[in-house]
């Protein structure tokens, strides 16, 4: 525009006269554009910044954080509502897990007592034996009648025979059975 002002053309003279008006209107338009851009950016970025801060608290384990409602039908509003629902579902799941954990020991004790009651009322000798012949602590009452009084050092192999060759044969059979079971369950493991 300044170059055109140096020439004395009618267009240049008209532009020079209107130059101040043009600069004012361009400044107003630019300022208006910046304000509109700032407003739109604030509308989308403020909720996203809040969501980011809130998600950081949730990630740190604070599920009691308050997530304000975002009243908009835009993608940001949908994201906000999905996040609120996810946190709400996590709160419910956490409460269920805490309740489950709180009652877990009691339920285990009840089940153990039920199993022991079942074992005590059986007519069969039912017990678990380790490969080395050790009898595990849970066994039926009939097992005591068949094998005699048991304690933590009781060994099945020693109780079934006084003959050392028989004991050795049972021990080898246990080891063979375990090897076969392990081979079937985990064929890639070398023993």
User: How many whole angstroms separate alpha carbon 146 and alpha carbon 83?
Assistant: 63
pLDDT of 13 reads 67
Angle between helices 75-120 and 10-59 in degrees, nearest 10: 10
Which tokens is 154 given? 């009781």
User: How many whole angstroms separate alpha carbon 133 and alpha carbon 76?
Assistant: 66
- Is 120 or 34 the better-scoring residue by pLDDT? 34
Residue 11 has pLDDT above 70, yes or no: no
pLDDT of 37 reads 92
In sequence order, the 6+-apart residues with CB closer than 8 A to the CB of 25 are none
pLDDT of 1 reads 47
Residue with tokens 């008209």: 14
User: How many whole angstroms separate alpha carbon 151 and alpha carbon 163?
Assistant: 22
Average pLDDT, the chain: 83
User: How many whole angstroms separate alpha carbon 102 and alpha carbon 95?
Assistant: 10
Residue with tokens 């877990």: 104
- 3-class secondary structure, 129: strand
Phi first, then psi: give them for residue 100, nearest 5 degrees.
-60, -45
Residue 2 has pLDDT above 60, yes or no: no
């Amino acid at each position: 525009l300044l170059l055109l002002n140096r020439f004395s053309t009618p267009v240049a003279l008209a532009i020079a006269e209107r130059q101040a008006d043009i600069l004012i209107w361009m400044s107003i338009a630019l300022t208006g554009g910046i304000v509109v851009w700032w407003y739109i950016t604030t509308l989308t970025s403020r909720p996203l910044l809040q969501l980011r801060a809130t998600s950081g608290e949730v990630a740190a384990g604070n599920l009691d954080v308050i997530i304000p409602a975002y009243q908009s039908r835009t993608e940001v509003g949908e994201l906000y509502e999905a996040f609120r629902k996810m946190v709400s579902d996590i709160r419910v799941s956490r409460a269920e897990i805490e309740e489950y954990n709180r009652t877990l020991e009691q339920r285990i004790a009840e089940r153990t007592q039920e199993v022991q009651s079942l074992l005590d009322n059986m007519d069969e000798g039912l017990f678990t034996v380790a490969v080395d012949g050790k009898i595990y602590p849970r066994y039926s009452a009939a097992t005591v009648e068949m094998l005699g009084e048991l304690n933590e050092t009781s060994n099945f192999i020693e109780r079934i025979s006084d003959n050392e060759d028989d004991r050795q044969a049972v021990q080898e059979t246990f080891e063979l059975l375990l090897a076969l079971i392990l081979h079937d369950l985990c064929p890639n493991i070398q023993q």
